[in-house]
Amino acid sequence: MTAFESGNKDKAVAQFTGSRNQAYYAQAFHAIGESRHFVWTVNRAALLLGPIWFGFRGLWQWMLAFTILETFALILIGRGLWADLTQSVGARIASIEIQLDLRKEQLETALAEGSNSVAALRRNIEGLEGIIAQAQSEMLEIEAGRFGLFLTGLALFLGARLIMSVLANPLLARSFASWRATRQRPQLSPFGRLAVAVAFVLGIHAVNYSFYVFALDVPFIKSFPTTADIRAYAVDAIEDAFDFLTIHGDGFFDAISFGIRVVLDALETVFVETPWMVVAAFVIGVTALSANVRSAVIAAVFLAYIGSVGLWVLAMQTLALLGTAACISISLGIPLGIYSARRPRFYRVIRPILDMQQTMPTFVYMIPVIAFFGTGKAAAVVTCLIFGMPPVVRLTVLGIQGVPASIREAAVAYGSSEWYLMTRVELPLAAPSIRAGINQTILLSLLTVVVASLIGAKGLGEDVLEALQYASIGQGLLAGLAILFLAKILDRIFMGKNDGV
């Protein structure tokens, strides 16, 4: 390193760490940067301040981790020194002593009256006295372990502080290297970082000590400060909102249900009423054209299994349900993905909605689906649609945004219009990603078939549900394998030659 580079680095270190510690950190960073191995240094400030030092230096993730470790150690120290470790045992002894006093009074009465229960009462009293003696022995053992608890906490605390002091300089050097590359200003000033770190660390320690060490009966700490009225009001507000939408949007939801039923009934007529040989030949032929002959042979074997175990009609009903959900998901998802790829702000708005659709349990959003569409096939299709549409939207956006900017610029330079750019440049290049999104949408829709059977969907899901109700292992496995084989066939068709067998 030249003198000029060294001087620039010293100035950067001074700006990053503060002029007071410039020489120390410049030397430490130089030693860490020049060595290929871990450099053992001890940062006395980190040793003294612990997690607060990491917060002051902007290493927030490490501050959180070390705060957890140090909190555990301090709790052990506090419980070893001040906590009432025998509180629960003492309360149990007090309760037993009340029973013992009562039994002694009953014994005196029985002796005075010459009752036959004297022997039983004496045995009961002896048993209670034995329990008290055992509890008192337990109290002595707990008290004897107090010092060991303190030593364990102290060792853990000192070990944690030693680890912090050793890791401080390497971690700060890594942060310095990142800062030097970007020169991004921190969001808080040094004083602000120190104030936040002190408030956070001391606040965590204070709350934990009050609860685990001193056992203070503070309702605000023991349980979240809320009331049952808030939850009741929220439930009533949601129900009122859904009642309003159900009443005033009845025509809208009926129109959607009608459109879904038209498509679904048409597909069911095609798949169920058409002779099985025609459907099987069509599926095998499409698989051969899309993938290869080997995939077509495997599809034929899968279809033979479905038919031989008597699940052909149920499988075709499932295929119709899946086809309806997939057609709607794809016809809505791809245009929405294209629009989102061209308008990042819009995509930032709908991305949390897509996250919610994929992460919320299916049983949860089945509730509003039933409220709006009732039970039946239409509600089952909407359920599959909600869960299955996000992948095609996301992967369409990913595919279009992944088109190199140089290709776009070249197409525009040659006079391409927006429509030509999208249809002849962006979509062909994004086709593998879009195809993967379609594949994921179909497979995820197929996963909801069993759940959708709870709200009236026909097909293989209904067979699985019935097997669950009656614990029929054979019936459930046969239907489950049929669903698996349908998924494999559709995967081969839509992934084509890009997917191996």
- Spell out the per-residue pLDDT of the chain, length 501, in tens: 554 455 577 788 888 887 677 888 988 888 888 888 888 999 999 999 999 999 999 999 999 999 999 999 999 999 999 888 888 888 899 999 999 999 888 888 888 888 888 888 889 989 999 999 999 999 999 999 999 999 999 999 999 999 999 999 999 999 998 898 887 777 788 899 999 999 999 999 999 988 888 888 787 777 888 888 888 898 899 888 888 888 888 888 888 888 888 888 888 888 888 888 888 998 899 888 887 888 889 889 999 998 888 888 888 888 888 888 888 888 899 999 999 998 889 999 999 998 888 888 777 878 888 888 887 788 888 888 888 889 999 999 999 988 888 888 888 888 888 888 888 888 889 988 988 888 888 888 877 777 777 777 777 877 887 887 777 788 888 888 888 888 888 878 877 655 543
414, part of any domain: yes
Residues 140 and 214 in one domain: yes
Residues 278 and 203 in one domain: no
Query: What percent of the residues of the chain are helix, what percent strand, and what percent coil, each to the nearest 5?
Result: 85, 0, 15
Residues 199 and 276 in one domain: no
The tokens describing 76, both together, are: 């052990």
144, part of any domain: yes
The count of domains in the chain is 2
Domain extent for 302: 246-498
The CATH number given to whatever domain includes residue 408 is: 1.10.3720.10
Residues 219 and 279 in one domain: no
Residues 212 and 260 in one domain: no
Residues 110 and 252 in one domain: no
Residues 341 and 429 in one domain: yes
Residues 211 and 344 in one domain: no
Residues 183 and 252 in one domain: no
292, part of any domain: yes
How many CA within 13 A on the CB side of residue 407? 14
Residues 61 and 152 in one domain: yes
Nearest to 482 by CA among 325, 322, 328, 358: 322
17, part of any domain: no
Torsion, Cα 234 235 241 247, to 10 degrees, reads -160
Q: State the Cα–Cα distance between residues 34 and 18, nearest whole angstrom.
A: 22
Q: Quickly list DSSP for 209-246.
A: IIIIIS----HHHHS-S--HHHHHHHHHHHHHHHHHHH
**What pTM value is reported for the model?**
0.72
| Residue where a domain terminates, one of 190, 225, 260 | 225
Type of residue at 78? G
